[in-house]
Amino acid sequence: MQDIVLDICDLSFGYTKESVIFDGFSLSLQRGEIKSVVGRSGSGKSTLFEIIASNLNPQKGQVSRGKIGWIFQDPYSSFHPSYSIVNQIKEVALSLQELVVLCNEVGIELNLLEKLPHELSGGQLQRCSILRAILMEPDLLLCDEPTSALDNLIQLDVMKLLIKRVKNVGILLITHDLDLAKWASDAIISLDRG
């Protein structure tokens, strides 16, 4: 039996009757699969993620999903600036041993977790975002431009980390980078019309 972590069936949504973003849109994602959502600014990529996260309700259609973990484009905005990283992830860490194992896996030194977000580089902080998302044990990882603020070498490292985790989750990736989508994805969904 296939392990479906996201199933969108016949989705319709628009902010007004005149501006329909989705009309009869369907998408299915299985555990172990990466799909990328690409499109120009304003094509509905972020709106789709908000619908999947239940922050917006579709006018029509159904969205079924497993537990979500989220990795954002800007890691600095996804952590509170006044608290250490460990204070922001300890509620999802099951044990210190698990934390040590996962820190090694994502390439983060344990002592970096004691630092404030601004004391880390963008690549280090994005690895902390991935660590936090993995610790939540999601079925579905929503990745909103997770590499666009990083240099090319760090982008590759971050994507390799995500791909390494894909056997345990389904990954839906928003990206403007078509080359990245082609390299990393099992399928690409373009939201550009015409």
pLDDT digits (tens, 9 = 90+) for 132-141: 888 888 999 9
Q: Give the model's confidence band at 2: pLDDT under 50 very low, under 70 low, under 90 confident, else very high.
A: low
pLDDT, greater one: 16 or 194: 16
What is the length of the chain?
Answer: 194
Give the separation between CA 175 and CA 191, rounded to whole angstroms: 11
Helix (H) or strand (E) holding 8: strand 4-14
Give the separation between CA 150 and CA 168, rounded to whole angstroms: 25
Q: How far is CA 115 from the centre of its chain?
A: 24
pLDDT digits (tens, 9 = 90+) for 37-87: 998 888 899 899 999 999 999 999 999 999 999 888 888 888 999 999 998
Give the separation between CA 26 and CA 8, rounded to whole angstroms: 5
Sign of CA dihedral 40, 41, 44, 47: positive
Query: Where do the domains of the chain lie, and which CATH numbers do they carry?
Result: 4-190 (3.40.50.300)
pLDDT, greater one: 155 or 29: 29
Residue 1, pLDDT above cutoff 50? no
Burial code of 103-133, b = ≥16 C-beta within 10 A, e = fewer? beebebeeebbeeebeebeebbbbbbbbbbb
Q: What is the mean pLDDT of the chain?
A: 87
Contact 141, 171 (CB under 8 A): yes
What pLDDT does residue 90 have?
79
What pLDDT does residue 155 have?
77
What pLDDT does residue 194 have?
52
